[in-house]
Every structure is written in C-alpha cells, then in structure tokens.
Amino acid sequence: MNQMKAKYFFNNYFLEINKRLNCVDINKLEEIFYLLVQASKNNNKIIIVGNGGSAAIASHVTVDFINAARIKAINFNESSIITCFANDYGYENWVEKALECYAESGDVVILISSSGQSKNILAGANKANSMNIGVITLSGFLPDNPLRKLGNVNLWVDSKSYNIVEMTHHIWLLSVIDYIIANKEIQG
C-alpha cells in the first residue's frame, strides 16, 4: 500500500516539475544569455541574491558562473554582510545597501524570490534599476507579484509550492550557464 502511495506521489511530483520547467519562454532565456554575455564582455560582474533556499541557489549559480562559465560573479551570502546591513539599515534594505557598495553600472543582478514579494529583494530591484544595472528576476506564486514587474527580464513559475518554484528557478539558471559554456565563441 505505501509503495503505491509513494509511486503516485513521486510520479506526480516529477510531472509537476517537468510541467513548470517546460513553461519557460525560451526567448527570455536567450535574452538572459545575451545580457550576461554582454556584461562579461564589458568586464562587468553578475550579482546573484536570494533569501533562504533562493540564497542557496545563488551560491550554487555563483560557483558555476565563476568556475564553469568563467564569468565574474558574486553573491551576498556572507552572514556578516547581511547582518551588518540589516542591523544598520533594516532587513528590508540590506540588499539595496549591499548593491550600493558592490555594484557598478553595467553589472547584472539576478534577484530570486519565490513569492516575488520579499521586501529586501524588491528594494534591491529598485536600487539596481536606479544604478543602471541590468535586472533579471525569478519569482513564482501569484502572477501579479511586484518583483515580476521590475526586471529587464522576468521569469515566473506558476506554482505556490516553494520547492517546485525553487527547483525550477535553479534549473532555468543552470540551463543558461550551460548555454553560455556551449557558446563560448559568442563571448569573444
């Protein structure tokens, strides 16, 4: 009996992930590719930011940008940076303050929020837009979430399940990195 429940659950779970993965607009992935390659050609960096599970995605993606794709990338997952800026400026403002310190015109920031409503991520998007920084957003949950309106390219997952949204974001970002690696000649 339990084996049937498990089989049913996992089959449905993987079907759901597959469905969400395949809902991506390939043109948007290509836009992200060109935005990132252009930043790299101009000797700019990629900044990846998220909270919780999205911060873990940011860490993994940063490593792959640096090591596999050979593109300068950073994330703000250092606890002393987060706690310093959160303490001094409020948690909702720490991403904005970190961007003020680390970002430069021409950089690209990837902001990840499953709900698209994280106040610190929204403040970061607004700050990046005011600094002439390219903005890529990844969100989920409600189709009209505020983050989805703030990027140059916005990817959205039609799900209210954190793990479905986060894993879809993760795979979409890794697919762009693998596309960059496969097209190294474009980078000049």
**Please, are residues 119 and 95 in contact by the beta-carbon 8 Å criterion?**
no
pLDDT in tens, 1-23: 588 899 999 999 999 999 999 99
Residues of the chain with pLDDT under 70: 1, 185-188
**Please, are residues 51 and 118 in contact by the beta-carbon 8 Å criterion?**
yes
Name all domains of the chain by residue range, CATH numbers in brackets. 2-187 (3.40.50.10490)
Specify the 3-state DSSP secondary structure of 111. Answer: strand
pLDDT in tens, 127-137: 999 999 999 99
135 DSSP assignment: E
